[in-house]
Structure 1
Amino acid sequence: MSGLTLTIQAERWREHLATTFARAAVVPVVKGNGYGFGRERLAAEAERLGADVLAVGTASEVGSVREAISGDVVVLTPWRADDLDAVALATDPKVITTVSREVDLAALSAGGERAPRVLLELRTSMRRYGMELAEAGSAVGRLDARDAAAGQPGVVLEGWTIHLPLLERGRLEEARRLSRAAVALRRAPIWISHVTPEEATTLAAELGVDVRLRLGTSLWLGDPGALRTTATVIDVHRVARGERIGYRQRRVSRDGWVLVLAGGTAHGVGLEAPSAASTLRSRAISAATGGLEAAGRALSPYTVAGRKRWFLEPPHMQSSMVLLPGEEHAPSVGDAVPVQLRLTTAVVDHVAEA
Structure 2
Amino acid sequence: MSGVSLRVDIDRWRRHLATVAAATPGIVPVAKGNGYGFGLTRLAEESERLGAEAIAVGLPSEVAQVREAFAGDIVIMMPWRPDDDLARALLADTRVITTVSRVEDLAAIAALAGDLEQPPRVIIELATSMQRHGLRVADLAGVSDHLAAISLQGWTIHLPLSDQGRYVEAERLARAALSTAPATLWISHLPAAEATVLAKQLGGAGEDPAPLRLRVGTRLWLGDPGALATVATVLDVHPVRRGDRAGYRQRRISRDGWLVIMAGGTAHGIGMEAPTAAVSSRQRLVALAQGGLQATGRALSPYTIDGAKRWFLEPPHMQASLVLLTGSTAAPTIGDDLPVELRLTTALVDQVVEV
Identify whether the pair has TM-score above 0.5, normalized to the shorter chain: yes
Residue correspondence of structure 1 range 255-294 to structure 2 within 5 A:
255-294=256-295
- Tell me which stretches of 4 or more aligned residues in structure 1 moved more than 3 Å: none
Question: Partner residue of 1:16?
Answer: 16
| Matched residue, 1:3 | 3
Paired residue type of 1:81 = P
Partner of 1:237, secondary structure, is strand
Aligned-pair distance for 1:302?
A: 0.4
Matched, 1:340 2:341: yes
Give the Cα–Cα distance (whole angstroms) in 1 for the partners of residues 199 and 8 of structure 2. Answer: 34
Q: Which runs of 5+ in 1 are unaligned?
A: 148-153
Q: RMSD of the alignment, in Å?
A: 0.9
C-alpha displacement at 1:245, in angstroms?
0.8
CA contact (8 A) 1:203 1:211 kept: no
Structure 1 CA distance for aligned equivalents of residues 103 and 133 of structure 2: 12
- Report the AA paired with residue 347 of structure 2: A
Question: In 2, Cα distance between the equivalents of 1:291 and 1:137?
Answer: 53
Give a deviation string over 1:151-192, Cα, whole Å, max 9, x none: xxx100000001111111111111111111111111111101
SS at match of 2:23: coil
In structure 2, the gaps of 5 or more residues are 204-209
Q: Which amino acid aligns with 1:180?
A: R
- Cα deviation code 1:259-302 (max 9, x no counterpart): 00000000000111111222222222111111101111111100
How far does residue 33 in structure 1 lie from its aligned partner after superposition? Answer: 0.3
* Residue 112 of structure 1: how far off its partner (Å): 2.3
Aligned to 1:200: 195
Deviation of the 1:204 alpha carbon:
1.5
Alpha-carbon distance between aligned partners in 2 of 1:278 and 1:135, rounded to the nearest angstrom: 34
Deviation (angstroms), 1:143: 2.2
Which position in structure 1 is the counterpart of 2:67?
A: 66
Alignment of 1:13-162 (within 5 A): 13-24=13-24, 25-110=26-111, 111-113=114-116, 114-140=118-144, 142-143=145-146, 147=148, 154-162=149-157
Q: Distance in 2 between matches of 1:137 and 1:16?
A: 43
Aligned counterparts of 2:54 and 2:115: Cα–Cα separation in 1: 24
How much has 1:135 moved relative to structure 2? 0.8
Alignment partner, residue 328 of structure 1: 329
| Residue 166 (str. 1) matches residue 153 (str. 2) | no
Partner of 1:218: 219
Write out per-residue CA displacement over residues 240-269 of structure 1, whole angstroms, 9 at most, x where no aligned residue: 112111001111111110000000000000
Deviates more, 1:226-235 or 1:192-201: 192-201
SS of residue in 1 equivalent to 2:294:
helix
Tell me if 1:186 matches 2:181: yes
* Residue-by-residue CA offset, 1:2-49 (whole Å, 9 max, x unaligned): 000101000000000000011121100000000000000000000000
Distance 1:250 1:308 in 2: 20
Percent identity between the two aligned chains: 59
**Paired amino acid for 2:168:** E
Task: Tell me how far apart the structure 1 counterparts of residues 341 and 280 of structure 2 sit (CA, whole Å).
Answer: 24
Q: Kindly indicate whether the alpha-carbon contact (under 8 Å) linking 1:17 and 1:220 is maintained by their aligned counterparts in 2.
A: yes
**1:263–1:318 Cα contact (<8 Å) kept:** yes
Determine the C-alpha separation between the residues in 2 that align with 1:295 and 1:90.
53
- Distance in 1 of aligned mates of 2:353 and 2:197: 38
* Distance in structure 2 (CA, Å) of the matches to 1:318 and 1:20: 35
Q: Supply the AA of the counterpart residue of 1:206.
A: Q
The aligned amino acid for 2:198 is L
Moved more, 213-222 or 167-176: 167-176
Q: Distance in 2 between matches of 1:323 and 1:199?
A: 49
Q: How far did 1:117 drift?
A: 0.3
CA distance in 1, matches of 2:15, 2:192: 17
- Tell which deviates more after alignment, 275-284 or 79-88: 275-284
Deviations 1:98-147 (Å, cap 9, x if unpaired)?
A: 0000000001111222211000000000010000011122212x125xx3
Give the structure 1 partner of residue 247 of structure 2: 246
- Does the aligned pair in 2 maintain the 1:263–1:320 contact within 8 Å? yes
- CA distance, structure 2, for counterparts of residue 137 and residue 202 of structure 1: 28
What are the Cα deviations for residues 31-84 of structure 1, in whole angstroms up to 9, with x where unaligned?
000000000000000000001100000001000000111101000000001111
SS in 2 for 1:118: strand
Q: TM-score, normalised by structure 2?
A: 0.96
